[in-house]
Amino acid sequence: MSTQTDLSTIADFDPGTGVSSTREPIRRRVSDMQAYYADQEAAAAAVAGGDPLVYEYYDMGVQSTSGDVAYGTSTTFPGKVGDEYFMTKGHYHQVRDRAEVYFGLKGHGMLLLQTEEGAFTATEMGPGTVAYVPPCWGHRTVNTGDEDFVFLAVYPGDAGHDYGSIETTGFARRVVGVDGTPTLTDNAEFAR
Ligand code: M6P
Ligand code: ZN
Instruction: Give pLDDT, residue 4.
Output: 62
Of 143, 119, 147, 149, the residue nearest 133 (C-alpha): 119
Instruction: Give pLDDT, residue 5.
Output: 65
Of 64, 62, 55, 63, the residue nearest 26 (C-alpha): 55
Instruction: Report which residue type is found at 28.
Output: R
Q: Is the dihedral of CA 54, 104, 19, 112 positive or negative?
A: negative
159 Cα nearest atom in ligand 1: 9
Cα separations (Å) of 73 from 18, 46, 107, 161, 164? 5, 25, 13, 15, 22
Interval between CA 49 and ligand 2 midpoint (Å):
31
pLDDT tens digits for range 29-77: 999 999 999 999 999 999 999 999 999 999 998 889 999 999 999 999 9
- Closest ligand, as measured to the CA of 76: 1
Instruction: Give pLDDT, residue 12.
Output: 86
Asked if 60 contacts 23 with a C-beta cutoff of 8 angstroms, the reply is yes
Does the pTM of the predicted model rise above 0.85?
Answer: yes
Of 176, 172, 177, 175, the residue nearest 187 (C-alpha): 172
- Nearest-angstrom CA–CA distance, 47 and 51: 4
- Closest ligand, as measured to the CA of 153: 1
Starting at the edge strand found earlier in the chain, the sheet holding 84-85 runs 80-81, 84-85, 173-178, 181-186
Instruction: Report which residue type is found at 165.
Output: S
Ligand 1 site: residues with CB under 6 angstroms? 57, 72, 74, 88-91, 100, 153, 161
- Mutating to test ligand 1, I would choose from 56, 152, 158, 161 the residue with most ligand atoms within 8 A of its C-beta, which is 161
- Closest ligand, as measured to the CA of 88: 1
Beta bridge partners of 74: 57, 151
- Mutating to test ligand 1, I would choose from 68, 76, 88 the residue with most ligand atoms within 8 A of its C-beta, which is 88
Interval between CA 155 and ligand 2 midpoint (Å):
7
- Nearest-angstrom CA–CA distance, 89 and 28: 9
Instruction: Give pLDDT, residue 9.
Output: 67
- Mutating to test ligand 1, I would choose from 75, 77, 91, 111 the residue with most ligand atoms within 8 A of its C-beta, which is 91
DSSP 93: E
pLDDT tens digits, the chain, 192 residues: what are they?
445 666 776 778 999 999 999 899 999 999 999 999 999 999 999 999 999 999 999 999 888 999 999 999 999 999 999 999 999 999 999 999 999 999 999 999 999 999 999 999 999 999 999 999 999 999 999 999 999 999 999 999 999 999 998 998 899 999 999 999 999 999 998 986
